[in-house]
Amino acid sequence: MMEAADFISFADSLDRCWMEGRLHDLEAFLADDVVFVAPGGKPRSEGLAQAIESYRQFTSHAQVKRFETSDHAVTLRGDTAVVEYHWEMTWIAAGAEHHETGRDVLVLSRRDYDWRVVWRTQIPGARAT
């Protein structure tokens, strides 16, 4: 039985994959039918290949200098878990430094005894209240 700390570790490991350029390893975290919803609801992508491509697009032009997470909240209901967390990131793209904050919301579903992200969205600048 996974505990809240296990889901937080899951989210941290997922983030390390894309930050370290191990995009193929994301398959261990994302469902084949995962849905990514950008802030504001558009664009919306569906499927593992499109999800991995979204990470590839960002990491191909940006060098992450700092990425920190905090304020984790885990809600577990049967075979569904929601992992929310605040993040702060600094990266360099096109010679300019950028700083952004937000909140990720990951919805996980237990599939054949493994947990996979089935929904991900970001809320720009949001912090838990």
Decide if 113 is inside a domain: yes
pLDDT tens, 102-123?
A: 999 999 999 888 999 999 999 9
Query: Which pLDDT band holds residue 125 (cuts at 50, 70, 90)?
Result: confident
Does residue 129 carry a pLDDT above 80?
no
Check whether 75 has a pLDDT greater than 60. yes
- Both structure tokens of 58: 């960002």
Q: Which residues pair with 45 in a beta bridge?
A: 36
Taking only the tens place, the pLDDT of each residue in 19-61 is: 999 999 999 999 999 999 987 777 789 999 999 999 999 999 9
What pLDDT, on a 0 to 100 scale, did the predictor assign at position 126? 60
Q: Would 129 be classed as within a structural domain?
A: no
Residue 29 CA, chain-centre distance (Å), reads 10
| Residue in the structure block whose two tokens are 């579903």 | 109
- Between residues 101 and 1, which one has the greater pLDDT? 101
Q: How is residue 72 written in tokens? A: 């984790």
SS3 47: coil
Name 121's Cβ contacts closer than 8 Å, sequence gap at least 6: 36, 37, 38, 39, 104, 105
The torsion angle over the Cα atoms of residues 62, 118, 81 and 112, rounded to 10 degrees, is -120
Q: How far apart are CA 117 and CA 114, in angstroms?
A: 10
Q: What value does the CA radius of gyration of the chain take, rounded to a whole number of Å?
A: 14
Distance CA 5, CA 24 (A): 24
pTM of the model: 0.91
Residue 81 counted as domain residue: yes
Q: Which domain, by its residues, includes 96? A: 4-124
State how many domains the chain has.
1
Instruction: Say which CATH number the domain at 69 has.
Output: 3.10.450.50
Where are the strands (E) in the chain, listed by range?
A: 30-37, 44-46, 63-77, 80-93, 96-111, 114-124
